[in-house]
């Protein structure tokens, strides 16, 4: 059973947390003590209904304000698929949190209030999702119960969002009219919207295809750990453990060992449950190869005919997360890229990006918290990478403050594919 990672977003009060609560409640993915606590809190709030949003908004400050300010990860499953939901904040001041939640997502689920239509935050969330390389979008037009379930309200919103996604180059998208509080078109078809004949949300999420593109990409596996037991029975054993980030491999296949590009033949592929003849993306494996090569953590196995780039200078898009320091030319940081760590010098801040309109370049000499910009950088050791638009796993990194060891930025190597007009 495969796993679908979903980043959810929406403006404040669009009903995002309520929708997630509905998904968790209907899938019976809530522990009884959590359910009891939410019911008691609903009573204390004197609400007329069970507040499903309380199932996701766990922080006290979130519950008091009725908004989501942190990224909360929730898990549920159906007989067909497992799901990880990243409930990201709606406020613009929490852009960094949304970037964190969306960075590993397979699909973006964006909620729009039917009464308000497409607002600035709706566009912002779609733009950031495109910036992060998400290729599948689902828009849930929520609170249809408050507009009498009218098709003539839903269709103009759908058309406006469709035009936006075309501009961003997003080809895979779906629009669903829902009422999260009542469950219309969430798990089951809504009898109150007979004019909507496509799949409800859960059925669509069960059937959407997303792994084919990753499986067809060139093979990439950063080496995480070199296994050498040095025991009598395993005296000559040498294995290289890691997670396959893209592509597929099989025993007998030739691979390239980067950074030097030396080719080697795979003799064994081992998984936690034993030896296998093949493996593909997301599989945690130990690979054994023919020959005795000098391979360390931070090296990378790749397809021999489609090798990644190797360089210590590159451009990147960075979302700055620190409220204590800004990012400027001359900033010295630690960079964590796949399984490799090095020092990184910011050699220049080219511009920052208007998150309301990615075509807008705003000249700036620094990035402050929640700002996204294009920078140039140089590392003390060459990195083995792909452009982020080609491979999200090998094209992403984090930046760490050397003095505090805090994560202060998240980056994407190269220029985003949605920069089509700049």
CA distance 129 to 7: 9
Q: How many CB atoms lie within 10 A of CB 417?
A: 16
Give the Cα-Cα-Cα angle 386, 392, 394 (nearest 5 degrees): 45
Task: Give 165's DSSP letter.
Answer: H
Q: What pLDDT sits at residue 41?
A: 55
Q: What pLDDT sits at residue 65?
A: 40
Architecture of 3-210 per CATH?
3-Layer(aba) Sandwich (3.40)
CA dihedral 212, 214, 218, 223 (to 10 degrees): -140
Q: What pLDDT sits at residue 68?
A: 38
Q: What is the 3-state secondary structure (H, E, C) of 38-75?
A: HHHHHHHCCCCCCCHHHHCCCCHHHHHHCCCCCCEEEE
In terms of DSSP bridges, do strands 136-142 and 107-113 run parallel, antiparallel, or are they unpaired? parallel
Q: Which residues contact 75 (CB under 8 A, 6 or more apart)?
A: 29, 82, 83, 84, 85
Q: What pLDDT sits at residue 103?
A: 77
Q: What pLDDT sits at residue 69?
A: 39
Q: Which residues contact 296 (CB under 8 A, 6 or more apart)?
A: 223, 226
Q: What residue segments make up the domains of the chain, in order of their start?
A: 3-210, 217-302, 309-413
Of 2.40.30.10, 2.40.10.10, 3.50.50.60, 1.10.3210.10, which CATH number belongs to 217-302? 2.40.30.10
Distances (CA, A) of 105 to 144, 202, 341: 27, 17, 24
**What would the pLDDT profile of 101-111 be if each residue is shown by its tens digit?**
777 889 999 99
Instruction: Say whether 309-413 and 3-210 share the same fold.
Output: no
Task: Give 277's DSSP letter.
Answer: S
Task: Provide the token pair at 7.
Answer: 């980043």
Q: What pLDDT sits at residue 102?
A: 77
Q: What pLDDT sits at residue 353?
A: 84
Distances (CA, A) of 268 to 253, 274, 333, 347: 10, 11, 38, 43
CA distance 290 to 268: 9
Q: What pLDDT sits at residue 66?
A: 41
325-328's contacts with Cβ under 8 Å and 24+ in sequence apart are: 325/401, 325/408, 326/366, 326/367, 326/368, 327/366, 327/367, 327/368, 327/373, 327/375, 327/399, 327/408, 327/409, 328/365, 328/366, 328/367
Of 2.40.30.10, 1.10.1060.10, 3.50.50.60, 3.30.465.10, which CATH number belongs to 309-413? 2.40.30.10
Q: What pLDDT sits at residue 158?
A: 97
Q: What pLDDT sits at residue 369?
A: 87
Q: Is 58 exposed, middle or buried (0-12, 13-18, 19+ CB in 10 A)?
A: middle
* pLDDT under 50: residue ranges of the chain: 31, 33, 58-69, 420-422
- 11 pairs with which residues across the strands? none
**What would the pLDDT profile of 206-254 be if each residue is shown by its tens digit?**
998 876 666 689 999 999 999 988 777 777 889 999 999 999 999 999 9
Q: What pLDDT sits at residue 339?
A: 95
CA distance 353 to 46: 43
């Amino acid at each position: 059973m495969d796993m679908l990672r979903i980043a959810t977003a929406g403006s404040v009060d669009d009903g995002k947390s309520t929708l997630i609560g509905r998904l968790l409640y209907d899938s019976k993915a809530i522990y009884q003590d959590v359910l009891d606590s939410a019911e008691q809190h609903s009573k204390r709030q004197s609400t007329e209904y069970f507040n499903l949003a309380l199932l996701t908004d766990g922080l006290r400050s979130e519950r008091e304000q009725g908004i989501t300010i942190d990224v909360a990860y929730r898990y549920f499953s159906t007989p067909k698929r497992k799901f990880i939901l990243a409930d990201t904040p709606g406020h613009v001041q929490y852009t960094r949190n949304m970037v964190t939640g969306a960075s590993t997502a397979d699909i973006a689920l964006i909620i729009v209030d039917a009464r308000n239509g497409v607002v600035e935050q709706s566009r912002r969330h779609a733009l950031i999702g495109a910036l992060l390389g998400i290729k599948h979008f689902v828009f849930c037009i929520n609170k249809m119960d408050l507009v009498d379930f009218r098709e003539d309200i839903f269709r103009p919103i759908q058309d406006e969002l469709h035009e936006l996604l075309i501009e961003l180059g997003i080809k895979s998208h779906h629009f669903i009219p829902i009422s999260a509080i009542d469950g219309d078109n969430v798990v089951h078809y809504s009898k109150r919207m007979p004019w909507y004949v496509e799949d409800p949300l859960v059925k669509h999420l069960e059937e959407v295809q997303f792994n084919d593109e990753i499986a067809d990409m060139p093979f990439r596996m950063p080496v995480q750990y070199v296994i050498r037991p040095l025991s009598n029975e395993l005296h000559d054993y040498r294995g290289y453990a890691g997670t396959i980030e893209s592509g597929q491999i099989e025993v007998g296949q030739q691979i390239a060992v980067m950074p030097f590009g030396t080719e080697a033949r795979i003799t064994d592929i081992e998984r936690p449950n034993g030896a296998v003849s093949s493996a593909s993306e997301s599989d945690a494996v130990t690979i054994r190869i023919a020959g005795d090569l000098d391979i360390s953590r931070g090296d990378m196995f790749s397809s021999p005919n489609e090798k990644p780039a190797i360089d210590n200078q590159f451009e990147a898009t960075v979302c700055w997360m620190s409220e204590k320091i800004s990012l400027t030319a001359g900033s010295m940081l630690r960079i964590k890229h796949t399984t490799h760590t090095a020092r990184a010098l910011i050699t220049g801040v080219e511009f920052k990006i208007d998150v309301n309109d990615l075509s807008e370049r705003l000249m700036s000499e620094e990035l402050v918290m929640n700002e996204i910009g294009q920078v140039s950088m140089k590392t003390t050791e060459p990195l083995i990478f792909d452009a982020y638009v080609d491979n999200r796993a090998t094209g992403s990194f984090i930046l760490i403050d050397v003095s505090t060891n805090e994560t202060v930025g998240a980056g994407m190597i190269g220029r985003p594919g949605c920069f089509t007009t700049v």
